[in-house]
């Protein structure tokens, strides 16, 4: 028996030792990968004369800085986020540098965009288009090759001097559409009740849970918004390809799938060729690579950015590196606005974001703040917390300039009400000035399974937050009063920020979404302009030189913090089944809106959020 216990203890000790050594080895590998990635981000490269800058667009393009190398590794291991991620500023700054770099002979664009979340939106693509135009203005070729061009792809690639289409591909000119999903009948079937409180007849974020189709008001605003975005898309292609917008509309209505031979005749493309032919032509344009004569002289965008821009700036964004320069801080609010301090990707946590702004306000080296918004909004309380911190920064004498990305609506617009100027793109989705509350109850669902409830309370409204019963008319009136109060505060913030009468704001509010061009016309934004233009304005406002330093926030986290989050992160069971097949796409589209409910965590269940399903395809 003694030998038995000794054997058991030895086995247990061996298992613990094995687990400990395995964990230590895993951490060591992760640390090595993170360190290697960090060094790779700062490597020096040699650019051959006449080389083409190669930008593979098979990626997601976010406004905020991309994940760290360690995070990318974790995503690959978990099966999540397989697409490469670049930031908008990485691409734009690299293209602008390439335009003036005498060694760069041109730019080669390849691949198809892989949008995820709020990434690779049309407003961001418009800024990249402008940077490509700068390259062309310096008499440098922009060459593009695509196997199949989506509307997003072509909006960007249409700028190119030479557009090569694979002979077996096509161009998508089908126009834009938005197809909201509705769950009211499903909830009714399973006995889940939903009551809502809202202000604004266009505040349609609650409709998926209360209706089985679009309201007339919602249909009206979506039609107007899509029309504005489609007009901007056609205007961009018309300018680039010299094809009248009316002709593009005719093609969209009669021949929306354009094959290479017709695309060339219409000047939508210039060549039809397979990839090996394209690479051979690039070899003729750029010359043969000295190390590999079979290919053309080139430099990858990632390497070029790391060597020519990040290294020369001293890379203060790296963990543990203190930035002591006088500078402008660019702060990104990208994703759903939620209450609290969560660090989960895809969300903007109000308390965490406010702390970040507080540090920048107290940093004497930060002379101005540029807020880049790519968010549909969310928690009204969190939006207010963030707004107040931005107001304090302005009161401290630091200009606050706002740049709107693809989406800056509801809470995303709310936080912009503490700014000296708002820049927007014509195809930005903004506005949605309105508030709602969503109040589910499970009474019928529970009853159908034989579960019943009873109640004891000390006062009439003691159970007002319960989800076991539908709200009484009196309870709904109390909640509606709170929603009305938040809406009035929202209107007041906008009226003061935009120097408008509250009555005028209410006319254009009502929860309605607008395109950026309409927002400028209505006075909700100041002017059309890119993120770089917003940064330039902030420097001027703060009396800084044009070459003043720029730092981006949030910064990359320390390795220890990333590892701790990784060890605490719950796996996503859907990640492994979400692929590109029709079945997996359907699963993703069905699950996505329901997962958005997780972001509804306002302490008073009141939200400044644009419609959930404003997906433009």
Active site residues: 203, 410
CA distances from 563 to 21, 295, 425 (A): 16, 40, 38
- Residue 377: helix, strand or coil by DSSP? strand
Asked if 194 and 184 touch (Cβ cutoff 8 Å), the reply is yes
Burial of 46 (0-12, 13-18, 19+ CB in 10 A): exposed
Query: In degrees, to the nearest 5, what angle opens at C-alpha 375 toward C-alphas 519 and 112?
Result: 100
Burial of 17 (0-12, 13-18, 19+ CB in 10 A): exposed
What is the phi-psi region of residue 558: left when phi exceeds 0, alpha when psi lies from -120 to 50, beta otherwise?
Answer: beta
Asked if 610 and 407 touch (Cβ cutoff 8 Å), the reply is yes
Strand (E) positions, 450-574?
513-515, 527-528, 549-553
Asked if 602 and 339 touch (Cβ cutoff 8 Å), the reply is yes
Structure tokens at 267: 């000047």
Q: What are the φ and ψ backbone dihedral angles of 450, each rounded to 5 degrees? A: 80, 10
Structure tokens at 18: 């094995």
C-alpha–C-alpha distance, residues 514 and 518, integer Å: 6
Burial of 525 (0-12, 13-18, 19+ CB in 10 A): buried
Site of tokens 């190398």:
69
Q: Which residues pair with 109 in a beta bridge?
A: 55, 144
Query: In degrees, to the nearest 5, what angle opens at C-alpha 83 toward C-alphas 346 and 311?
Result: 85
Asked if 498 and 523 touch (Cβ cutoff 8 Å), the reply is yes
C-alpha–C-alpha distance, residues 331 and 357, integer Å: 8
Nearest to 116 by CA among 178, 59, 55: 59
- Residue 400: helix, strand or coil by DSSP? strand
């Amino acid at each position: 028996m003694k030998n038995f216990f000794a054997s058991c203890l030895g086995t247990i000790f061996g298992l613990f030792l094995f687990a400990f050594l395995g964990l230590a080895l895993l951490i060591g590998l992760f640390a090595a990968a993170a360190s290697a990635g960090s060094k790779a981000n700062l490597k020096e490269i040699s650019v051959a004369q006449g080389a083409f800058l190669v930008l593979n667009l098979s990626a997601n393009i976010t406004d905020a800085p991309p994940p760290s190398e360690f995070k990318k590794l974790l995503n690959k291991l978990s099966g999540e986020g397989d697409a490469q991620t670049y930031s908008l500023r990485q691409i734009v700054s690299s293209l602008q540098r390439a335009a003036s770099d005498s060694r760069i002979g041109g730019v080669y664009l390849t691949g198809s965009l892989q949008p995820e979340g709020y990434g690779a939106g049309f407003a961001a693509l418009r800024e990249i288009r402008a940077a490509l135009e700068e390259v062309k203005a310096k008499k440098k070729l922009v060459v593009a090759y695509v196997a199949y061009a989506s509307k997003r792809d072509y909006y960007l690639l249409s700028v190119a001097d030479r557009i090569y289409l694979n002979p077996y591909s096509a161009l998508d000119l089908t126009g834009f559409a938005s197809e909201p999903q509705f769950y009211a009948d499903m909830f009714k079937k399973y006995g889940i009740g939903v009551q809502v409180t809202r202000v604004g007849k266009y505040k349609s974020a609650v409709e998926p849970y209360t209706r089985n189709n679009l309201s007339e008001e919602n249909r009206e605003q979506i039609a107007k918004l899509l029309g504005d975005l489609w007009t901007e898309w056609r205007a961009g292609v018309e300018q680039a390809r010299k094809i009248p917008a009316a002709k593009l509309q005719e093609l969209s209505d009669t021949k929306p799938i354009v094959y290479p031979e017709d695309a060339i005749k219409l000047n939508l493309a210039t060549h039809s060729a397979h990839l090996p032919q394209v690479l051979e032509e690039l070899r003729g344009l750029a010359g043969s690579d000295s190390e590999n004569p079979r290919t053309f002289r080139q430099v990858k965008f990632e390497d070029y950015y790391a060597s020519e821009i990040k290294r020369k700036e001293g890379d203060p964004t790296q963990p543990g590196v203190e930035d002591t320069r006088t500078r402008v801080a660019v702060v990104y609010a990208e994703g759903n606005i939620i209450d609290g301090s969560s660090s989960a990707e895809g969300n903007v946590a109000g308390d965490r974001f406010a702390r970040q702004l507080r540090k920048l306000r107290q940093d004497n080296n930060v002379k101005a703040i540029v807020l880049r918004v790519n968010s549909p909004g969310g928690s009204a309380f969190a939006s207010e917390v963030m707004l107040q911190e931005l107001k304090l920064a302005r009161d401290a004498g630091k200009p606050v300039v706002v740049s709107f990305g693809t989406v800056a609506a509801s809470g995303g617009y709310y936080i912009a009400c503490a700014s000296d100027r708002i820049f927007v793109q014509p195809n930005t989705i903004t506005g949605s000035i309105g508030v709602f509350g969503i109040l589910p109850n499970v009474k019928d669902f529970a009853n159908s399974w034989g579960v019943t409830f009873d109640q004891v309370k000390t006062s009439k409204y003691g159970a007002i937050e319960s989800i076991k019963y539908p709200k009484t008319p009196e309870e709904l009136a109390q909640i509606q009063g709170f929603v009305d109060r938040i809406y009035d505060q929202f209107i007041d913030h906008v009226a003061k920020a935009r120097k408008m009468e509250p009555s005028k704001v209410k006319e254009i509010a009502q929860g309605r979404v607008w395109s950026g061009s309409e927002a400028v016309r209505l006075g909700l934004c100041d002017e059309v302009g890119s993120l770089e233009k917003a940064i330039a304005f902030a420097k001027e406002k703060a009396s800084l030189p044009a070459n003043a330093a720029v730092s981006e926030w949030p910064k990359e986290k320390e390795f220890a913090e990333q590892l701790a989050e990784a060890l605490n992160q719950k796996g996503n069971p859907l990640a492994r089944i979400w692929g590109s097949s029709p079945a997996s796409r359907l699963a993703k589209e069905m699950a996505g809106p329901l997962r958005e409910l997780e972001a509804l965590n306002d302490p008073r269940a009141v939200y400044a959020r644009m419609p959930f399903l404003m997906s433009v395809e």
